[in-house]
């Protein structure tokens, strides 16, 4: 596990949005009955004087809006582990001021690299991780390359989390009633069938209102990390900004020849009025609304949000348009295969503040909590779901495993945050056995059916390159500008070659060299 220290310029990558870009825990969990003496230390139970609580500054879950003081979950953790918790919201500003939590989560290897470069983090002994968290270590070792993403100067700087079945993988959500209205009886499977359907949506009055006011699809041309139209690029075997392995070499998807082919297809669709002209500014939220409101007939959607009858996007559509019918399908098969943007097995990362290295008692306590957060059902469930029968229960009456649901008064995340639920959850640090016991079998089957993973994921597992801080954001913006202009017809398609030259000269060539060096050293085998 060898790697050079990140250059100081990588700190430019560390922005608050980066911290928030990680994956949510996605856990379906349960709570066991609590032993009345479970939160009492052995010495106190024997009448001896209890040890002083260990004080821990805890960075709350990065997707939480802010700290809620003295919640029931915080108090429960304090009693169970004999600790005194100071919850804090981690931001770039708080870190810059020197307010470094003892334990917190980061969403991306680039964040870990930047904080490590600033001296914020404590390195983690893999031997201690193996000793203190044996069940979780056995699981993460199956995805051992994740360790490489956060190993610098031959030291490990974060505990990687993994995700196997990813509910946020993207597939296609179709207006089935529109397909019926334009005479298409089969949900599209190939790129040619996809093209036939979206042209019909734009040209054959699928909503039957007698007006030409519909489009086939839209995109997200200025997403934070790539280009949008992920399934269309995936049909050509490429994803812009992602590092791909091709014939033993690492190439960036932004500049591959297959990308030009995908752009030609999208350009033709736009010229023919199939793509909504607002694709440049659309987001996932806005294109969902356009699906609901009958402006477009197909979107990319997360499997968890659309594959099941009770999924969020399906229920929202039914509430707004009860007569609408939806159909979920895999990404279209094209000349380069099929697939969409895939984050791979990478989830988030747990890091420990640098001051803890001089506090062995605190480090021991943190690993005690980490072990419980990974394999103790009571701890996992209390922090991620709350109290069984009060905040949540199993979806199936009388079940002892499987899908869960939040109870009345706690369906909304902000309601749960007030109880401390999620604030102290450490996400996908849970073991494989736990996940299998407390996951939704129907959702798992849907993921297996519709996900294209691992067809298209990053060959470097989204590791930070030494020069990312100097070039990555600028190159992403450059790509988005050129691609939007080529799709909309503002500039010729042949300007793709001009874009490739400019991309290389503005840092892409250097990043490609670094990507190949990292691949050979850390990821090839």
d(CA 79, CA 44): 12
CB of 244 closer than 8 Å to CB of 238: yes
Q: State the pLDDT at residue 288.
A: 95
**pLDDT (tens digit per residue) in 56-75:** 999 999 889 999 999 999 99
Task: Write the pLDDT tens digit of every residue in 187-233.
Answer: 999 999 999 999 999 999 999 999 999 999 999 988 778 999 999 99
Distance CA 418, CA 483 (A): 43
Q: Is 433 exposed, middle or buried (0-12, 13-18, 19+ CB in 10 A)?
A: exposed
Give the other-Cβ count within 10 Å of 504's Cβ. 16
HEC sequence for 87-103: EECCCHHHHHCCCCCCE
pLDDT, greater one: 96 or 174: 174
Residue 301 structure tokens: 């959607």
> Any idea which of 7-11, 333-337, 409-413 has the lowest mean pLDDT?
7-11
Does residue 523 have a pLDDT over 60?
A: yes
Q: Where are the alpha helices (DSSP H) in 167-256?
A: 176-181, 191-203, 230-235
Q: Which of 37-46, 174-183, 219-228 has the highest mean pLDDT?
A: 174-183
As given in the structure block, the two tokens for residue 407 are 């109870």
pLDDT in tens, 262-281: 999 999 999 999 999 999 99
User: Which pLDDT value is given to residue 224?
Assistant: 76
Inform me whether the pLDDT recorded for 20 exceeds 90.
no
- Give me 13's structure tokens: 């990558």
Query: Band of the pLDDT at 48, cuts 50, 70, 90?
Result: low
Mean pLDDT of the residues in the chain: 90
Tell me which of 346 and 175 has the higher pLDDT.
175
What DSSP character marks residue 521?
Answer: I
3 versus 280: which is more confidently predicted?
280
- The pLDDT of residue 524: 83
Percentage, residues of the chain above pLDDT 70: 90
In the block, tokens 């051992």 appear at 144
499 compared with 34, residue with greater pLDDT: 499
The residue whose two tokens read 């591959």 is 256
> What is residue 223's predicted lDDT score, i.e. its pLDDT?
79
Is the pLDDT confidence value at 125 over 80? yes
Mean pLDDT of 143-161: 93
pLDDT at residue 40 above 90?
A: no
Higher pLDDT among residues 28 and 473, named by residue = 473
**Degrees to nearest 5, angle at CA 450 with 445 and 452:** 120
Q: Are 457 and 450 in contact (CB under 8 A)?
A: no
Query: In a 3-state reduction of DSSP, which class is residue 191?
Result: helix
Tens digits of residue pLDDT in 223-259: 778 999 999 999 999 999 999 999 999 999 999 999 9
| Band (18; pLDDT cuts 50, 70, 90) | very low
Would you kindly state where each structural domain of the chain is located, as residue ranges?
Answer: 44-165+346-395+426-438, 170-341+465-523
Q: Which helix (H) or strand (E) holds 226?
A: none
Find the Cα–Cα–Cα–Cα dihedral 292, 295, 296, 300, rounded to 10°: -40
Please choose, from the candidates 364, 382, 194, the residue with its C-alpha nearest in 3D space to the C-alpha of residue 274.
194
What pLDDT is stored for residue 153 in this prediction? 86
How much is the average pLDDT of 441-460? 94
pLDDT at residue 298 is higher than 80? yes
- Between CA 350 and CA 25 the distance in angstroms is 13
Locate 360 and state its tokens: 């062995």
Q: Calculate what percentage of the chain has a pLDDT beyond 90.
A: 83
Q: What pLDDT does residue 49 have?
A: 64
Computed from CA positions of residues 4, 5, 7, 12, in that sequence, does the dihedral angle turn out positive or negative? Answer: positive
In the CATH scheme, what is the code of domain 44-165+346-395+426-438?
3.40.190.10
- The DSSP annotation for 401-455 comes to SS-EEEPTT-SSHHHHHTTTTTTT---TTS-HHHHHHTS-HHHHHHHHHH--TTS
Instruction: Tell me what the mean pLDDT of segment 325-353 comes to.
Output: 95
Task: Confirm if 167 and 343 have CB atoms less than 8 A apart.
Answer: no
Instruction: List the beta bridge partners of residue 350.
Output: 105, 159
In CATH terms, is domain 170-341+465-523 a member of 3.40.190.10?
A: yes
């Amino acid at each position: 596990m060898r790697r050079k220290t990140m250059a100081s310029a990588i700190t430019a990558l560390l922005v608050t949005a980066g911290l928030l870009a990680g994956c949510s825990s996605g856990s379906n969990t349960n709570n066991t009955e609590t032993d009345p003496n479970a939160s009492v230390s052995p010495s106190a139970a024997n009448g001896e004087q209890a040890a002083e609580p260990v004080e821990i500054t805890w960075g709350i879950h990065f997707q939480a809006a802010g700290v809620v003081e003295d919640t029931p979950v915080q108090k429960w953790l304090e009693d169970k582990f004999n600790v005194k918790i100071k919850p804090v919201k981690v931001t770039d500003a708080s870190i810059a001021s020197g307010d470094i939590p003892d334990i917190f989560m980061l969403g991306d290897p680039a964040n870990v690299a930047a904080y490590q470069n600033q001296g914020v983090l404590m390195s983690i002994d893999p031997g201690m991780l193996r000793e203190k968290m044996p069940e979780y270590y056995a699981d993460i070792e199956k995805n051992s390359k994740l360790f490489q993403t956060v190993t610098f100067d031959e030291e490990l700087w974060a505990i990687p989390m993994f995700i196997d079945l990813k509910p946020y993988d993207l597939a296609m959500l179709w207006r089935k009633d529109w397909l019926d209205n334009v005479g298409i009886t089969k949900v599209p499977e190939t790129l040619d069938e996809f093209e036939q359907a979206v042209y019909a949506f734009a040209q054959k009055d699928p909503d039957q209102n007698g007006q030409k006011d519909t489009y086939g699809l839209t995109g997200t041309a200025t997403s934070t990390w790539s280009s949008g139209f992920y399934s269309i690029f995936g049909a050509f075997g490429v994803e812009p900004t992602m590092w791909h392995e091709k014939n033993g070499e690492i190439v960036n998807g932004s500049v591959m020849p297959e990308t030009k082919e995908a752009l030609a297809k999208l350009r033709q669709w736009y010229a023919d009025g199939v793509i909504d002209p607002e694709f440049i500014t659309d987001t996932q939220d806005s294109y969902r609304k356009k699906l609901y409101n009958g402006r477009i007939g197909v979107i990319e959607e997360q499997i968890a949000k659309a594959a099941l009858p009770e999924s969020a996007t399906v229920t929202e559509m039914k509430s707004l348009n009860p007569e609408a019918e939806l159909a979920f399908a895999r990404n279209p098969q094209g000349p380069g295969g099929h697939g969409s943007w895939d984050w791979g097995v990478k989830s988030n990362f747990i890091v420990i503040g640098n001051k803890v290295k001089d506090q062995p008692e605190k480090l021991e306590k943190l690993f005690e909590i980490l072990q419980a957060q990974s394999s103790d059902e009571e701890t996992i469930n209390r922090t991620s779901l709350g109290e069984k029968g009060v905040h949540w229960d199993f979806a199936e009456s009388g079940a002892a495993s499987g899908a869960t649901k939040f109870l009345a008064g706690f369906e909304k995340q902000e309601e749960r945050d007030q109880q401390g639920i999620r604030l102290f959850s450490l996400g996908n640090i849970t073991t494989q056995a736990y996940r299998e016991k407390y996951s939704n079998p129907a959702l798992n089957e849907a993921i297996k059916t519709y996900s294209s993973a691992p067809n298209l994921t990053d060959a470097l597992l989204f590791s930070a390159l030494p020069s990312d801080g100097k070039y990555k954001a600028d190159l992403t913006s450059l790509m988005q500008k050129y691609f939007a202009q080529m799709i909309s017809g503002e500039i010729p398609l042949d300007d793709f070659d001009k874009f490739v030259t400019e991309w290389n000269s503005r840092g892409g060539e250097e990043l490609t060299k670094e990507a190949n060096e990292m691949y050979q050293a850390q990821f090839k085998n």
